Amino acid sequence: MKPQVAFFEFTSCEGCQLTVVDLLQTHPELLDAIDIVEFREASSSKADCYDIAFVEGSCTRPSDEAKLRDIRARAKIVIALGACADLGGVNAIRNPMNLIDVRTYVYSDKAEWFDTYPARPISAVIPIDGAIPGCPIDREEMAMAVTHLLQGRLPRLPDYPLCIECKLKENVCVYQRGGVCLGPITRAGCQAICPSYGAACEGCRGLVPHPNIESLKQVLRARGISETDIEAKMAIFLSYQTTQEPEASVQHGNH
Ligand code: SF4
Ligand code: SF4
Ligand code: SF4
């Protein structure tokens, strides 16, 4: 019997699940190896238990917690899918703000209808077995993670910074072109795709283990970047991670 795989979403844009749908077009052989038993974005089938549950999206309201615990109870393996689930992602930008103001800004006079609290990664609510980082996920990394899971191994992530991949690609550094980039504190694994296309890394894969954030801030200050702009740059994807105690932030398997 093939492993039963399910996909779930919480607060997210569902772009990571869309990447999975896209992946299944280019790697249809995966469908010979797994049974997708629940995947709202692509199928109407349902199941009661799963060998592997991929969970996209952040926990952003009290009712999410019971749903996450239910998935955990039904699944042998739970993997966070994408930056929203792995880091809190862009949803956590609002965490330092007044949430009543945020709700009013988004929902106007209907703000009271919508329950919300600070965005958290799913690992803040349930134990997880691994993560596929990125916004969106990298499809080849996802294919590799599924392959590892089918072999009985958990997905493992690089424990070195993005700059290493960037240098191996012989890119001209964004700093040498007068810009700023979060590559020195960001976990590698995307093959430095943004700097390879001339853009700065915004840290969507989360912090590398033991990041020297203060040193990077000194570099940014030396570039004349204001404290407000430094905080804003770090807040895009790292808002939750940079406000947690080091031991509280999840460190995934490394290689
Ligand atoms: S990580 Fe990015 S692409 Fe994936 S669901 Fe969240 S916002 Fe969308
Ligand atoms: S462009 Fe960014 S990732 Fe590449 S070497 Fe420079 S700082 Fe590092
Ligand atoms: S270069 Fe940075 S922002 Fe771009 S995909 Fe990689 S980790 Fe994310």
Cα 159 to ligand 3 centroid, rounded to whole Å: 15
Bridge partners of residue 197, in order along the sequence: none
Measured between alpha carbons, how far is 105 from 102 in angstroms, rounded to an integer? Answer: 5
**Burial code of 24-51, b = ≥16 C-beta within 10 A, e = fewer?**
beebeebeeebebbbbeeeeeeeeeebb
Residue 166, ligand 3, Cβ within 6 A: no
Cα 110 to ligand 3 centroid, rounded to whole Å: 36
Give the number of the ligand closest to the Cα of residue 85.
Answer: 1
Whether 199 has a pLDDT exceeding 90, the answer reads yes
Nearest CA owner, ligand 3 atom 8: 204
Give the number of the ligand closest to the Cα of residue 131.
Answer: 1
Other residues' Cβ atoms within 10 Å of the Cβ of residue 96: 11
* The model's pTM: 0.93
Task: Tell me the per-residue pLDDT of 203-251, one tens digit each, with 9 for 90 and over.
Answer: 999 999 999 999 999 999 999 999 999 999 999 999 999 988 654 444 4
3-state secondary structure of 198: coil
Task: Tell me the per-residue pLDDT of 86-131, one tens digit each, with 9 for 90 and over.
Answer: 999 999 999 999 999 999 999 999 999 988 999 999 999 999 999 9
- Residue 62 pLDDT: 94
- In this structure, the residues whose C-beta lies within 6 A of any atom of ligand 1 are 12-16, 56, 82-84, 89-90, 135-136
What is the average pLDDT score of the chain? 93
- Angle, CA 170 vertex, CA 23 and CA 90 arms, to 5°: 50
Task: Tell me the per-residue pLDDT of 156-170, one tens digit each, with 9 for 90 and over.
Answer: 999 999 999 999 999
**Domain locations in the chain?**
4-150, 162-248
Residue 181, ligand 3, Cβ within 6 A: no
Query: 4-150: CATH homologous superfamily?
Result: NADH:ubiquinone oxidoreductase-like, 20kDa subunit (3.40.50.700)
Cα 204 to ligand 3 centroid, rounded to whole Å: 5
- Residue 1 pLDDT: 86
